[in-house]
Structure 1
Amino acid sequence: MDRRNFLKYATLAGSSFALTSCIQGKNSKSQSELVPTASPVVVNEPLKVGFVYVGPVGDFGWTYSHDLGRREMEANLQDKVKTTFVENVSEGADAERVIRQLALDGNKLIFTTSFGYMNSKIKVAKDFPHVAFEHCRGYKLAANVGTYSGRFEEPHYLTGLIAGKMTKSNVIGFIGAHPIPEVIRGIGAFTQGLRTTNPQAKVRVMWVQNWYDPAKERDAAQALINLGADVLSQHTDSAAAIQLAAEKGIYAFGYNTDMSKFGAQAHLTSAINKWGKFYIDTALAVINNTWKPQAIWHGIAQSMVDISPMNPVIPSDVQQLVNTKRNQFIQGTANPFDGPVKDQKGVVRVPKGKVLDNKAQLEMDWYVEGIEGSIPKSKS
């Protein structure tokens, strides 16, 4: 399974509890006492940093967003770092070979950007105690292994607010990759935002069972349009939905990076990932010998996720509503899953005044009210 396979993760309850406690700043004693063994960088020599990518740099989605972060780190730290990356690395033996070679080549900090690299990374890390490893979407920590991810549900909620005001048919199409908690949570957050501004609107989901497959994503988008959708959203990696929306004269949201160039009139905004600040801060920590393994789950407040500039076609009052909610996310006074939250059967899952906690969000396997259909089994 690939980078964000929380299907396995959700079934590993013990691991889920550990990750959640780390996120909440309540690390267990064993984790809080982990001592990083990564050695300080030699003075006047650049820190060598390696990146392992699951997809092509030119996907304009997930991998592209990580590479933008790598380039931002280079631009900011200049001669303090020297980076390299390997793209299109599959999980399993190939991943272990690539990660090990990066360590052998002298990289003292290695970022692995696919969930499916987790076991390979842990295995290699044991053999290179003086290398710092960071794993995106994983949950296994070690003395020289940290994890990081973004609260993707926050920008999804904001795009939902917009969708509720821009739809005329009250049918929103959502293209999902794999039916795992991360994606289900994103669709749920989007729908919570949508129903805030338009309680009559419904979300229909098409699953492509793939992270990056432009042809399948386009077919799914077309199927959703055939079902009456006049606004499209996605938790997949290509710009196929934006391009089709532009052809059909409807609206769409991008994901991972700003996809406006693929259909400026159709593109309302994108839910984007911003890895640059984290990469810069992590590299500096290694350089200064202050790095330590942590389980990071950051949102808009920490500049790890956000939305791209909004299309001027969005009414000013709607833009103001979005900005207000965005500021509340930053201030920590709002959450995409503030109660009341009902499931699609009308059962109250989160009462008013409460919030869906981190553990429940990380294991989410149910649709919120407003989403039609059922969740299929993952084929991954």
Structure 2
Amino acid sequence: MKKWKKVIGVLVLMFMMALVAACGGNPSGQGQKEGQKDGGQAQQSQKVRIAMVVASTVDDMAWSQSMYEGLKAVQKKMGEDKVEIAVSERLGDAVNAGAAIRQYASQGYDIVIAHGAQYQSVLREIAADFPKTTFAYGTGFQTAPNIFAYDPQAQEGAYLLGMLAGYMTKTGIIGVVGPVEAGDAIKYNYGFEQGVKAVNPKAQVRIAYTGSFGDIVGAGELAKVHMDAGADILTGSSQQSVGAIKAVAERGKYWLSTDMDQSSLAPDTVLAAQAYNWEKVVTKMIELRKQGVLGGEHLTLSFSDGTLELKFNSKLADKIPQEAKNAVEKVKQQIASGELKIELPKEQGQKQQQK
């Protein structure tokens, strides 16, 4: 009998040891929180799977392409064995976008980026069903425990581009080809107009909207209307801007870009650009996730942390007066240091405070 008790005791001990090993050395059987630093090298060695949903395409030379290039930069830096990327394009419809977002989450992607403010509502619905998945969208400010909202301070670079336009216009008329009068477009246009007025109070800034983010033909026609009315320098945002740039190039006028450097589209037309550095933003999301932070933060892009950049077209650098370059650089430093804050419309400013 004593022999059997001894055998049973050994078997019980072996079972307990196996149970502890199966639980990763944690006798309580409770797994560590996802991304905790104690997760050690095992967590860091895993491949980060990132999916992105966009309303246009990854070669739109604007909003979508800028983020895609940021993702590819992260993958190149970390290695393809560490970062996997998947993209779904042309999903402007919320229902179809929602289906793609849910599918990526179901397939175990770590981070799902819905690259557009229009995805905010559908993302909040889906995120609740996948608490271990990190979701992100922008331009936005509303977050959730597993949702990051990213928010380019478009008014900062817009102000500097407005200064350039104010210095360089000969007719005193500057045209803005806007997409939809909301979100990032309002911030950009508001900052741009302030920059123009700061150096050229008499200049007229004429803003008009196509009512769409992707109306390339409409943007081109609107640019022509501006030029027919005397505008010699134009700007605008969203993927539709490629149509406006084409029209401006045909007339021999100048364009100022945002989202990304668009000078390759028209080397003799695009003077300068405000570019978003998405590589830094995505890298921050990855790092926060490793620390167990799956969302809940409002991530801004600004000159202060290098996530906003001002790029001049080297081919047209000699067309910009040195006085303008010096003034823009001085103000850029003031914005980066916090000495100068570019104002937003009242409604937008209130949203900025809700983080």
- What is the alpha-carbon root mean square deviation over aligned residues? 2.4
The whole-number CA distance in structure 2 between the counterparts of 1:318 and 1:173 is 19
- The match for 2:170 is 168
The runs of 4+ residues in structure 1 deviating greater than 6 Å are 360-363
Match of 1:154, SS state, is helix
Distance in 2 (alpha carbons) for counterparts of 1:77 and 1:293: 25
The reply to whether residue 331 of structure 1 matches residue 337 of structure 2 is yes
2:180 is matched with which residue: 164, 178, 181? Answer: 178
Secondary structure of 1:94's aligned partner: helix
Give the whole-Å Cα distance in 2 for the aligned partners of 1:291 and 1:90.
25
| d(CA) in 1 for partners of 2:122, 2:229 | 43
Give deviations 1:57-112, integer Å, cap 9, x for gaps.
12111111110111111111113221211111133321221011101111011111
Partner of residue 257 from structure 2, selected from 249, 254, 259: 254
Q: Secondary structure at the match of 1:106?
A: coil
Residue 46 (structure 2) pairs with residue 45 (structure 1): yes
Q: Call closer, same or farther: CA 1:39–1:284 in 2, change over 3 Å.
A: closer
Look up the match of 1:64. Answer: 65
Given that 1:114 and 1:135 are in contact with CA atoms closer than 8 Å, whether structure 2 keeps it comes out as yes
**Letter of the 1:261 counterpart:** S
Matched residue SS, 2:245: helix
Q: Give structure 2 stretches of 5+ with no counterpart.
A: 1-32, 37-41
Distance 1:229 1:103 in 2: 47
Give, as a single letter, the amino acid of the residue that structure 1 aligns with 2:277: K
Greater per-residue helix proportion: 2
Structure 1, gaps ≥5 residues long: 1-36, 344-348, 350-355, 364-380
Q: Is the CA contact 2:35–2:293 (under 8 Å) kept in the aligned structure 1?
A: no
Q: 1:306 to 1:69 in 2, by over 3 A?
A: same
Whether the aligned pair in 2 keeps the contact of 1:49 and 1:84 (CA below 8 Å) is yes
Give deviations 1:100-146, integer Å, cap 9, x for gaps: 11011110111111222122211221111111111212343222112
Distance, in Å, in 2 between the alignment partners of 1:173 and 1:357 is 22
TM-score, normalization: structure 1?
Answer: 0.76
Amino acid of the residue matched to residue 118 of structure 2? Answer: G
| Residue 202 (structure 1) aligned with residue 207 (structure 2) | no
CA distance in 1, matches of 2:204, 2:351: 23
Secondary structure of 1:142 counterpart: coil
Q: 1:138 to 1:160 in 2, by over 3 A?
A: closer
Task: Say which one has the larger Rg.
Answer: 2
> Partners of 2:256 and 2:291 in 1: how far apart?
40
Q: Report percent identity of matched pairs.
A: 23
**Judging changes above 3 Å, is the alpha-carbon distance between structure 1 residues 233 and 110 closer, same or farther for their aligned structure 2 residues?**
same
What is the CA distance between 1:38 and its match in structure 2? 4.9
Q: Distance in 2 between matches of 1:164 and 1:362?
A: 30
Whichever residue aligns with residue 184 of structure 2, its letter is E
2:349 pairs, out of 344, 358, 372, with 358
What amino acid sits opposite 2:252 in the alignment? G
The aligned residue for residue 266 of structure 1 is: 269
